[in-house]
Amino acid sequence: MADTAEKQRGGKDMIAKLWRLLKPFHKTFGWYAGLILVYELLQIVEGYVLSGTIRLYNLRAPIILWAAFVIGLLIYDELFMRLDNQMDWFIISRHIYPIAQYLKTSALGKFLGMDMAWHQEHNSGTLVGKVNGGVEKVQNILEGASWEAYPAITQALLSLIALLIFTPLTALAATVTLTLFLWLSSKAVRARQPLREERFDLYEQEWHKSLENVQFVETSIMFGQQQRQMDEYKQMHKNISELGLREARMGIFHYNRWRIRLITWTRRAILVMWAVQLTSGRMDLATLVYASVLTEKLFSTFWRMARLMDRAAESAEGAQRLSGLMDEKSDMVESSQGQIATSDKTVGIELQNVTFNYPGSTGGLENVSLSISPGEMVALVGQSGSGKTTLRKLITRIYDVQQGQILVNGTDIRTWPLSQLRNLFAYVPQGDDVHIFNDTIINNIRFSKPSATNAQVEKAARLAGIHNTIMDNLPKAYETMVGERGIKLSGGQKQRIALARAFLADRPVLILDEATSAVDAITEREIQEQLKIALKGRTAIVIAHRLSTIWGIADKIVVLDKGQKVEEGSHKQLLNNKRLYARMVELQT
């Protein structure tokens, strides 16, 4: 009983969430409800045409009345056709496309607004599948509601009202039957819900698996694992099919049988009722025909409602997951303060006793203090897992510090508006993390500054040491398409495009995370020379594993070990200390 009540609350909650999610369309739904009421009223009137014909015949109506009757029907048909067209156009132009656009853009806005901790807890392929599937299911619900559910409910109510006027006993029997029929349908939906939930879990896994198989096809080929992957994928679909068949069997051979019995028994009982009313003179032939038309239409509506409930329940699972996704909140709290006054070219950063640990894992920073003066280039070095990348993520507020504070130009970054804070930074990730879009070279570089001119893009490419490669080695120069994830480019070319992108952004602080790891020694030296020009007067943070990348250009080197700052100074000072940094240099040289 508790599970049933919980499922009912869950269904109501889903409807409430969906209603809130579609708030911009509430007025549109109201206009549509009015159109449907008029539409179904006209259908109820049309059901009386045969009865009206019988009455005219019984009255021996003159030819002029018959002519007026036929002309009236033709006018009615034309008006009804126009209303029907208007209904279809209203649904398509005001519901289907606008709602799909609204949901997908809202979902993308949700993703872009969530913090990185949230993204690292979610699989990107599953998220995309959840959105695409959820939007499709919401559309199915809305299309079903627009074209069938609301018309069916309106038609049923209007038919019952008409039956109540002409034959109250028939209306009573139909009302009782409708109540029992909907109860059985609701019970069927609840009984099948656990199987449906399990099936949707498998759908999400299947989406992720298929996306992963395509993305890493080269790895699969190289290790000869294609058949194993196919077998796993087939088994997943076999499990989905088995769950779907169990669910369908329950609906067809149990609940459908009882619904058919209910409709059949009611139909026979009403037939007996009509026979009694006809023989007793309480019903004439014209009324019988009209009551028969209304009753059959009503019974047909019952089945429409049942099918709609099944389809809505099927779609509700995907819609519920989408609405749940849209309700999630970012842990990153946006500052309520306005813009902070600052010079665009002079940015200083200070960490005061900063501590941070990743949830559920080791690693992070422990009581780190560090001062980076405006215009200073600071290098962060240390073994893998020492906290270099974590420090970068905290400074740019990808994560919030757990203890201590980080100041930018003397102001705690938690009081900066996020957009203003992040507009201070340009970032070049490690080679494997560089994201290249399936677009042209010029658009990949221009991503950081869409308004940049071609000349500005070329200047940034020269600074990154990739202009000559673009002009000499690529078939269409800057207009060359690079393929998905930049598959047509080498690792070094991707990294230099990322450098050019950062240079073009022209931000006060440049963060380089092993930004020359994928280039050769000659290119690295060229980039270092260009960096001296590009970074003049700017603050820079360079994360380096190859220590040669920072010799001669870093004003200060900070050595991290196991999340703590263990050394700080110039290259020469740290060599003279003969501690961790000196040992690292010795190993690399």
**Which of these CATH numbers, 3.30.465.10, 3.40.50.300, 3.30.2320.80, 3.80.30.20, describes 349-588?**
3.40.50.300
- Other C-beta atoms closer than 10 Å to the C-beta of 75 total 10
Domain segments of the chain as ranges: 22-325, 349-588
Residue 364 β-bridge partners: 357
DSSP string across 466-508: -HHHHHHHSTTGGG-B--GGGTTS-HHHHHHHHHHHHHHH--S
DSSP string across 124-179: HHHHHHHHHHHHHHHHHHHHHIIIIIHHHHHHHHHHHHHHHHH-HHHHHHHHHHHH
Could you tell me the pLDDT band of residue 10, with boundaries at 50, 70 and 90?
A: very low
- Cα 52 off chain centre by: 54
- What whole-number distance in Å separates Cα of residue 36 and Cα of residue 87? 8
- Cα 173 off chain centre by: 47
Q: Per mean pLDDT, which range of 164-168, 275-279, 431-435 is the poorest?
A: 431-435
Could you tell me the pLDDT band of residue 119, with boundaries at 50, 70 and 90?
A: low
Segment 448-497, tens digit of pLDDT: 888 889 899 888 888 887 888 888 888 888 888 887 666 777 777 888 88
pLDDT above 80 (res 3): no
pLDDT above 80 (res 537): no
Taking alpha carbons only, the member of 229, 224, 203, 228 closest to residue 214 is 229
**Residue-level pLDDT at 7:** 45
Q: Per mean pLDDT, which range of 138-152, 155-169, 495-509 is the poorest?
A: 138-152
- What whole-number distance in Å separates Cα of residue 220 and Cα of residue 167? 71
Taking alpha carbons only, the member of 101, 97, 100, 87 closest to residue 31 is 87
Cβ contacts of 276 within 8 Å, gap of 6 or more? none
Q: Per CATH, which fold does 22-325 belong to?
A: ABC transporter transmembrane region fold (1.20.1560)
> What are the tokens at 379?
């290098």
Residue pair 437/521 in contact (Cβ under 8 Å)? The answer is no
**Residue-level pLDDT at 58:** 80
Using a cut of 0.85, tell me whether the model's pTM lies above it.
Answer: no
**Residue-level pLDDT at 359:** 72
Largest CA distance in the chain: 121
DSSP string across 66-77: HHHHHHHHHHHH
The mean per-residue pLDDT over the stretch 419-448 comes to: 81
The mean per-residue pLDDT over the stretch 236-242 comes to: 83
**Residue-level pLDDT at 385:** 78
Segment 92-103, tens digit of pLDDT: 788 777 887 887
